[in-house]
A and B are shown apart, each in its own frame.
Chain A
Amino acid sequence: MTIDWMAFLTVVVASLLSACLLVTLFSVALRLNDGPAPWRRPVSVALFVVCAAVVVFGIYLIVPFLHP
């Protein structure tokens, strides 16, 4: 019986960071979308674009053709 605890720890840290990153980006984007200041909208849209990039990276990881 061998458990690769190091690999498990890597999985925990990686999933924690990536999930929290995506949720933070999306939440901040929603928050900035809502307010009168003129600078908020473009920043919010930019953050949504970053979210989309994270999702695209997810697709890249899922589809084996895309990474050798």
Chain B
Amino acid sequence: MDVSLLVALVIALALIFDFTNGFHDTANAMATPIATGALKPKVAVAIAAVLNLVGAFLSTEVAKTISGGLIKGGSGGVQITPALILAGLIGAIVWNLVTWLLGLPSSSSHALFGGLIGAAVVGAGFGAIDGGVLVSKVLIPAVLAPVTAGLVSFLATKVAYGVTRKRERDRFKIGQIFTSSLVSLAHGTNDAQKTMGVITLALIAAGVQPTGSGPAIWVIGACAIAIAAGTYTGGWRIIKTLGRDITDIEPAQGFAAESATTATILASSHLGFALSTTQVASGSVIGVGLGRKGASVRWGTAGRIALGWLITIPASGVVGALAAMLSQLGLWGVILDVVLALGAILTVYLIARKRRIDARHFTQPAPGVFVRPKRRKKKPASVAAVSTGEAKAG
């Protein structure tokens, strides 16, 4: 089989995956500031895109562990060939698009792992999967991430509402701009690297690059641009789910959620217990929904999201496995794979166009709408109580 054609296809699909990764994860940082009106939708996605672009150039550590780690695993018998990487990428892309269509914030990393695992099973049998690693690195963190972030954001919300008075809370929006930008930057330094790692892995597997070398500068640049472009497109469906459908978010809650997300992600990446950004962000939103008196969490939506997480790895794995089976037919199998993948992308795009959701669907709350005092007509006694309370506090 023509290796250079195969590598070119892997690079193209990896960049498509990077693009879907971008618009899938815009919501993690920008759903809450868009929901509270802290940032206009277009401005929010532009900031996220720039920070993802910058972030991609800041580090290549994760990319090196992906390109180095998987090759080392190969010595045990699992041979990662470019064709298997291609199949894995197809699984990841298809699942990312399906979850986007359904508006589910699911982890792009899990989609990528799932696709690669599925392809590896076809290539090397079920022995290729280390069940223990799957449970300890993927399943248990998937439960712990939202619970941790939810607990943190719940308490942070209690603090925010305990300390401030209603009329002061609109200014949490200013804080939100900074905290959401931090989430975005943290995302940027991590996520583009997964694709850099995969492309480098393919280049190493094809013998173009020496084993153990890091990503080339053009790979870094291409991945940075792909993820930034994807981020700017803004996965509006997922932003809607995270910012609107789980719970109604006020500025103080938004600030608490983003602080909790940033703190949890940074703690997990620096203290050695890896957690998924998407799952942390979703957990934070649920936490702030529980933390504010009078807010309610729509558990149906939360349950749908959890179900999405549960089936992400098996689903992208099945697609990856099917693609890997086809690719074993040789060059024509690989070409058929790519054609089918492009067909799937086109189909999802056409379905999405029918029920379009974009920036214009986000009517934002007017400034001050959360802090305007409610009119109480029937109970003069409570109005009196409120006004004396104000007088005491003032």
Listed in ascending order, the chain A residues whose CB lies under 8 Å from chain B are 1-4, 7-8, 10-12, 14-16, 18-20, 22-24, 26-28, 30-31, 33-36, 51-52, 55, 58-59, 61-65
Contact = CB atoms under 8 A, between A and B. Distances in A.
Given A16-B155, A22-B263, A26-B255, A34 B182 contact: no
Contacts of A61: 266, 270
Given A1-B132, A23-B160, A18 B273 contact: no
Q: Determine chain A's interface SS by DSSP, over half rule.
A: helix
B307 to A, nearest CB: 23
B85 interface: no
Given A11-B148, A26-B172, A28-B163, A18 B263 contact: yes
B339 interface: no
Given A11-B275, A19-B264, A26-B172, A35 B189 contact: no
Given A8-B144, A24-B159, A26-B175, A31 B259 contact: no
Contacts of B264: 11, 15, 19
Contacts of B58: 62-65
Interface in B161-183: 162-165, 167-169, 171-172, 175, 178-179, 182
B258 to A, nearest CB: 9
A41 B58 CA distance: 38
Contacts of B239: none
Interface of B: 55, 58-59, 61, 131-132, 135-136, 140, 144, 148-149, 151-153, 155-156, 159-160, 162-165, 167-169, 171-172, 175, 178-179, 182, 185-186, 189, 252, 255-256, 259-260, 262-264, 266-268, 270-273, 275, 394
A15 B267 contact: yes
Contacts of A33: 168, 171
A36 to B, nearest CB: 8
A20 B182 contact: no
Nearest to B54: A63
A15 B152 contact: yes
B67 to A, nearest CB: 17
Contact of B178 (A1, A2, A20, A55): A55
28 contacts: A1-B131, A1-B132, A2-B136, A3-B136, A10-B273, A11-B273, A15-B266, A15-B268, A19-B153, A19-B259, A19-B263, A19-B264, A23-B159, A24-B159, A26-B175, A27-B160, A27-B162, A30-B164, A31-B163, A31-B164, A34-B165, A52-B178, A55-B179, A58-B262, A58-B266, A62-B58, A62-B182, A62-B266
